[in-house]
Structure 1
Amino acid sequence: MSNVDRDEQMWNRLSGLYSQVEARLGTAVQRGHGLGLSEFRALGYLAEAPDGELRMQDLATKVGLNQSSVTRLVGRLDAAGLAFRDLCPDDRRGVYTVITDKGRAKHREARDTYRATLTAALDEVDGTATALRRALG
Protein backbone atom coordinates (compact mmCIF):
# COMPACT_ATOMS: atom_id res chain seq x y z
CA MET A 1 0.00 0.00 0.00
CA SER A 2 1.42 3.41 -0.94
CA ASN A 3 1.77 6.34 1.44
CA VAL A 4 -0.98 8.13 -0.49
CA ASP A 5 -3.32 5.17 -0.02
CA ARG A 6 -2.47 4.99 3.72
CA ASP A 7 -2.98 8.73 4.09
CA GLU A 8 -6.34 8.55 2.35
CA GLN A 9 -7.42 5.60 4.48
CA MET A 10 -6.30 7.35 7.67
CA TRP A 11 -8.08 10.57 6.68
CA ASN A 12 -11.29 8.70 5.89
CA ARG A 13 -11.19 6.99 9.30
CA LEU A 14 -10.47 10.28 11.05
CA SER A 15 -13.24 12.18 9.28
CA GLY A 16 -15.66 9.32 9.98
CA LEU A 17 -14.71 9.37 13.65
CA TYR A 18 -15.14 13.15 13.73
CA SER A 19 -18.61 12.95 12.19
CA GLN A 20 -19.70 10.19 14.52
CA VAL A 21 -18.48 11.95 17.67
CA GLU A 22 -19.83 15.36 16.60
CA ALA A 23 -23.28 13.87 16.07
CA ARG A 24 -23.28 12.35 19.56
CA LEU A 25 -22.03 15.56 21.14
CA GLY A 26 -24.59 17.66 19.31
CA THR A 27 -27.46 15.43 20.37
CA ALA A 28 -26.35 15.32 24.02
CA VAL A 29 -25.80 19.06 24.40
CA GLN A 30 -29.01 19.94 22.56
CA ARG A 31 -31.22 17.48 24.44
CA GLY A 32 -29.64 18.07 27.81
CA HIS A 33 -29.15 21.82 27.72
CA GLY A 34 -30.88 23.31 24.69
CA LEU A 35 -27.60 24.40 23.09
CA GLY A 36 -26.20 23.70 19.67
CA LEU A 37 -22.53 22.70 19.51
CA SER A 38 -21.48 26.05 18.05
CA GLU A 39 -23.33 27.85 20.84
CA PHE A 40 -21.72 25.63 23.48
CA ARG A 41 -18.26 26.17 22.01
CA ALA A 42 -18.79 29.91 21.65
CA LEU A 43 -19.75 30.13 25.33
CA GLY A 44 -16.62 28.16 26.20
CA TYR A 45 -14.34 30.49 24.25
CA LEU A 46 -16.03 33.51 25.81
CA ALA A 47 -15.77 32.05 29.32
CA GLU A 48 -12.02 31.50 28.81
CA ALA A 49 -11.38 34.94 27.29
CA PRO A 50 -10.00 37.84 29.31
CA ASP A 51 -12.95 39.84 30.65
CA GLY A 52 -15.30 37.23 29.13
CA GLU A 53 -15.35 38.95 25.74
CA LEU A 54 -14.07 38.43 22.20
CA ARG A 55 -14.28 40.46 19.02
CA MET A 56 -16.94 38.97 16.77
CA GLN A 57 -14.28 38.29 14.13
CA ASP A 58 -12.12 36.36 16.64
CA LEU A 59 -15.12 34.38 17.89
CA ALA A 60 -16.00 33.47 14.30
CA THR A 61 -12.47 32.19 13.72
CA LYS A 62 -12.40 30.15 16.94
CA VAL A 63 -15.79 28.54 16.33
CA GLY A 64 -15.08 28.02 12.62
CA LEU A 65 -17.95 30.09 11.26
CA ASN A 66 -18.19 32.87 8.71
CA GLN A 67 -19.20 36.38 9.74
CA SER A 68 -22.91 36.05 8.97
CA SER A 69 -23.16 32.70 10.77
CA VAL A 70 -21.47 34.01 13.90
CA THR A 71 -23.77 37.05 13.83
CA ARG A 72 -26.79 34.72 13.88
CA LEU A 73 -25.18 32.58 16.61
CA VAL A 74 -24.55 35.62 18.81
CA GLY A 75 -28.13 36.75 18.13
CA ARG A 76 -29.39 33.44 19.54
CA LEU A 77 -27.11 33.72 22.58
CA ASP A 78 -28.28 37.30 23.12
CA ALA A 79 -31.96 36.34 22.84
CA ALA A 80 -31.41 33.62 25.46
CA GLY A 81 -29.59 36.04 27.80
CA LEU A 82 -26.34 34.05 27.56
CA ALA A 83 -24.23 36.76 25.88
CA PHE A 84 -24.59 40.25 24.42
CA ARG A 85 -22.97 42.50 21.84
CA ASP A 86 -20.92 45.48 22.93
CA LEU A 87 -19.16 48.19 20.92
CA CYS A 88 -15.47 48.81 21.47
CA PRO A 89 -15.13 52.22 23.17
CA ASP A 90 -11.88 52.99 21.29
CA ASP A 91 -13.00 51.78 17.86
CA ARG A 92 -16.72 52.09 17.14
CA ARG A 93 -16.32 49.60 14.28
CA GLY A 94 -15.21 46.89 16.72
CA VAL A 95 -18.05 44.72 18.00
CA TYR A 96 -17.49 42.37 20.91
CA THR A 97 -19.49 39.46 22.24
CA VAL A 98 -19.60 39.34 26.04
CA ILE A 99 -20.70 36.33 28.08
CA THR A 100 -23.23 36.88 30.87
CA ASP A 101 -23.33 35.18 34.26
CA LYS A 102 -26.24 33.11 32.94
CA GLY A 103 -24.08 32.13 29.95
CA ARG A 104 -21.22 31.06 32.22
CA ALA A 105 -23.59 28.94 34.31
CA LYS A 106 -25.17 27.37 31.21
CA HIS A 107 -21.73 26.49 29.82
CA ARG A 108 -20.63 24.94 33.14
CA GLU A 109 -23.79 22.82 33.25
CA ALA A 110 -23.39 21.63 29.66
CA ARG A 111 -19.63 21.05 29.94
CA ASP A 112 -20.03 17.95 32.12
CA THR A 113 -22.47 16.45 29.61
CA TYR A 114 -20.13 17.33 26.73
CA ARG A 115 -17.09 15.79 28.41
CA ALA A 116 -18.87 12.60 29.48
CA THR A 117 -20.35 12.15 26.00
CA LEU A 118 -16.99 12.79 24.35
CA THR A 119 -15.22 10.20 26.49
CA ALA A 120 -17.99 7.62 25.96
CA ALA A 121 -18.08 8.20 22.20
CA LEU A 122 -14.32 7.86 21.85
CA ASP A 123 -14.30 4.73 24.00
CA GLU A 124 -16.98 3.09 21.84
CA VAL A 125 -15.47 3.62 18.39
CA ASP A 126 -13.06 1.26 16.72
CA GLY A 127 -9.32 1.55 17.37
CA THR A 128 -9.14 4.94 15.67
CA ALA A 129 -9.64 6.90 18.88
CA THR A 130 -7.12 4.78 20.76
CA ALA A 131 -4.56 5.30 18.01
CA LEU A 132 -5.22 9.05 18.02
CA ARG A 133 -4.89 9.25 21.79
CA ARG A 134 -1.53 7.43 21.56
CA ALA A 135 -0.33 9.65 18.74
CA LEU A 136 -1.36 12.88 20.45
CA GLY A 137 -0.57 11.90 24.02
Structure 2
Amino acid sequence: MNNELLDNWLSLTHIQMKINNELEAVFQEKYDLTLKEFYVLYYLSLAFNKRLRLQDLPDLVGLSQSAVSRLVTRLEARSCQTLQRSACEDDLRGVYTSLTTKGEEAVKECIETFNQVFLAASSENSKKQELLKLINKL
Protein backbone atom coordinates (compact mmCIF):
# COMPACT_ATOMS: atom_id res chain seq x y z
CA MET A 1 0.00 0.00 0.00
CA ASN A 2 1.41 3.40 -1.03
CA ASN A 3 0.93 6.00 1.72
CA GLU A 4 3.13 8.68 0.20
CA LEU A 5 0.34 11.24 -0.25
CA LEU A 6 -0.93 10.67 3.26
CA ASP A 7 2.59 10.81 4.70
CA ASN A 8 3.28 14.06 2.84
CA TRP A 9 -0.01 15.52 4.05
CA LEU A 10 0.73 14.57 7.66
CA SER A 11 4.23 16.05 7.43
CA LEU A 12 2.86 19.30 6.05
CA THR A 13 0.15 19.57 8.71
CA HIS A 14 2.70 18.78 11.42
CA ILE A 15 4.92 21.65 10.25
CA GLN A 16 1.92 23.96 10.01
CA MET A 17 0.79 22.98 13.51
CA LYS A 18 4.22 23.71 15.02
CA ILE A 19 4.39 27.14 13.38
CA ASN A 20 0.77 27.83 14.34
CA ASN A 21 1.55 27.02 17.99
CA GLU A 22 4.56 29.35 17.96
CA LEU A 23 2.47 32.15 16.46
CA GLU A 24 -0.32 31.54 18.97
CA ALA A 25 2.09 31.78 21.92
CA VAL A 26 3.65 35.03 20.68
CA PHE A 27 0.28 36.65 19.94
CA GLN A 28 -1.01 35.69 23.40
CA GLU A 29 2.07 37.02 25.13
CA LYS A 30 2.58 40.18 23.11
CA TYR A 31 -1.00 41.27 22.25
CA ASP A 32 -3.31 39.16 24.44
CA LEU A 33 -4.89 37.93 21.19
CA THR A 34 -5.53 34.46 19.90
CA LEU A 35 -4.49 33.74 16.35
CA LYS A 36 -8.18 33.48 15.33
CA GLU A 37 -8.83 36.92 16.83
CA PHE A 38 -5.95 38.28 14.78
CA TYR A 39 -7.39 36.60 11.67
CA VAL A 40 -10.73 38.36 12.25
CA LEU A 41 -8.98 41.71 12.55
CA TYR A 42 -6.87 40.94 9.48
CA TYR A 43 -9.85 40.00 7.29
CA LEU A 44 -11.65 43.13 8.42
CA SER A 45 -8.59 45.17 7.40
CA LEU A 46 -8.85 43.70 3.87
CA ALA A 47 -12.58 44.27 3.48
CA PHE A 48 -14.22 47.16 1.69
CA ASN A 49 -14.80 49.95 4.24
CA LYS A 50 -13.02 47.74 6.80
CA ARG A 51 -16.26 45.96 7.65
CA LEU A 52 -17.90 42.61 7.09
CA ARG A 53 -21.17 41.02 8.01
CA LEU A 54 -20.74 38.92 11.10
CA GLN A 55 -22.13 35.93 9.19
CA ASP A 56 -19.28 36.15 6.64
CA LEU A 57 -16.50 35.69 9.18
CA PRO A 58 -16.92 31.97 10.08
CA ASP A 59 -15.84 30.73 6.66
CA LEU A 60 -12.86 33.08 6.64
CA VAL A 61 -11.45 32.11 10.02
CA GLY A 62 -12.58 28.50 10.27
CA LEU A 63 -14.92 28.83 13.23
CA SER A 64 -18.63 28.28 13.77
CA GLN A 65 -21.06 31.22 13.71
CA SER A 66 -21.50 31.06 17.49
CA ALA A 67 -17.72 30.89 18.08
CA VAL A 68 -17.18 33.96 15.88
CA SER A 69 -19.92 35.81 17.71
CA ARG A 70 -18.28 34.99 21.07
CA LEU A 71 -14.87 36.00 19.69
CA VAL A 72 -16.18 39.38 18.51
CA THR A 73 -17.94 39.87 21.84
CA ARG A 74 -14.66 39.14 23.68
CA LEU A 75 -12.78 41.65 21.55
CA GLU A 76 -15.44 44.29 22.23
CA ALA A 77 -15.52 43.53 25.97
CA ARG A 78 -11.77 43.93 26.40
CA SER A 79 -12.12 47.63 25.65
CA CYS A 80 -9.24 47.34 23.23
CA GLN A 81 -11.40 49.31 20.78
CA THR A 82 -10.20 47.38 17.73
CA LEU A 83 -13.63 46.68 16.31
CA GLN A 84 -17.24 47.68 16.66
CA ARG A 85 -20.58 46.20 15.70
CA SER A 86 -23.44 47.93 13.96
CA ALA A 87 -26.81 46.88 12.59
CA CYS A 88 -27.29 46.40 8.85
CA GLU A 89 -29.52 49.05 7.38
CA ASP A 90 -30.84 46.63 4.72
CA ASP A 91 -31.47 43.67 7.03
CA LEU A 92 -32.28 44.39 10.66
CA ARG A 93 -31.29 40.82 11.59
CA GLY A 94 -27.82 41.34 10.14
CA VAL A 95 -24.85 42.74 12.03
CA TYR A 96 -21.72 44.36 10.64
CA THR A 97 -18.38 44.16 12.38
CA SER A 98 -16.04 47.05 11.56
CA LEU A 99 -12.37 47.63 12.19
CA THR A 100 -11.64 50.87 14.02
CA THR A 101 -8.63 53.11 13.44
CA LYS A 102 -7.06 51.61 16.54
CA GLY A 103 -7.79 48.17 15.07
CA GLU A 104 -6.01 49.09 11.83
CA GLU A 105 -2.92 50.10 13.81
CA ALA A 106 -3.06 46.85 15.77
CA VAL A 107 -3.30 44.80 12.57
CA LYS A 108 -0.22 46.48 11.11
CA GLU A 109 1.77 45.75 14.25
CA CYS A 110 0.50 42.16 14.37
CA ILE A 111 1.41 41.57 10.72
CA GLU A 112 5.00 42.63 11.43
CA THR A 113 5.13 40.21 14.35
CA PHE A 114 3.52 37.46 12.26
CA ASN A 115 6.14 37.88 9.55
CA GLN A 116 9.02 37.80 12.04
CA VAL A 117 7.76 34.71 13.87
CA PHE A 118 6.82 32.87 10.67
CA LEU A 119 10.17 33.52 9.02
CA ALA A 120 12.08 32.49 12.14
CA ALA A 121 9.99 29.37 12.64
CA SER A 122 10.04 28.28 9.01
CA SER A 123 13.77 28.83 8.70
CA GLU A 124 14.63 26.42 11.51
CA ASN A 125 16.80 23.80 9.94
CA SER A 126 14.62 20.75 10.62
CA LYS A 127 11.44 22.42 9.34
CA LYS A 128 13.23 23.87 6.35
CA GLN A 129 14.64 20.49 5.35
CA GLU A 130 11.27 18.80 5.82
CA LEU A 131 9.55 21.45 3.70
CA LEU A 132 12.15 21.15 0.95
CA LYS A 133 11.69 17.37 0.85
CA LEU A 134 7.93 17.80 0.57
CA ILE A 135 8.24 20.40 -2.19
CA ASN A 136 10.55 18.14 -4.17
CA LYS A 137 8.06 15.28 -3.89
CA LEU A 138 5.26 17.42 -5.22
What TM-score do the two structures reach when normalised by structure 1?
0.89
The equivalent position to 1:21 in structure 2, one of 14, 19, 43, is 19
What corresponds to 1:92 in structure 2?
92
RMSD (Å) for aligned C-alpha atoms: 1.9
Instruction: Give structure 2 stretches of 5+ with no counterpart.
Output: none
Alignment of 1:62-101 (within 5 A): 62-79=60-77, 80-101=80-101
Which deviations, in whole Å up to 9, do the C-alpha atoms of 1:76-111 show, x marking residues without a partner? 221231111111101111111111111111111111
Residue in 2 that maps onto 1:107: 107
Match of 1:41 among 30, 39, 47: 39
Q: What is the number of residues matched between the two proteins?
A: 134
Can you give the 5+ residue segments of structure 1 that lack an aligned partner in the other structure?
none
Displacement of 1:133 after TM fit?
A: 6.5
Q: How far apart are the structure 1 equivalents of 2:134 and 2:44?
A: 28
Gap change, CA 1:8 and 1:44, over 3 Å in 2: same
Native 8 Å contact 1:55 1:96 kept in 2: yes
C-alpha distance in structure 1 between counterparts of 2:95 and 2:132, whole Å: 42
Residues 24-50 of structure 1: per-residue CA shift (max 9 Å, x gap): 010111111221101111100001100
In 2: Cα distance, 1:14 partner to 1:122 partner: 12
Q: After superposition, what is the alpha-carbon deviation per residue over 1:34-70, rounded to whole angstroms, capped at 9, x for unaligned?
A: 2110111110000110000011111111011101100
| Same amino acid, percent of matched pairs | 37
**Distance in 2 of aligned mates of 1:30 and 1:43:** 15
Relative to structure 1, the CA distance from residue 71 to residue 134 in structure 2 (aligned partners, 3 Å threshold; closer, same or farther) is farther
The verdict on how the C-alpha distance between 1:95 and 1:131 changes in structure 2, with shifts beyond 3 A counting, is: farther
SS at the partner of 1:127?
Answer: helix
1:122–1:134 Cα change, 3 Å: farther
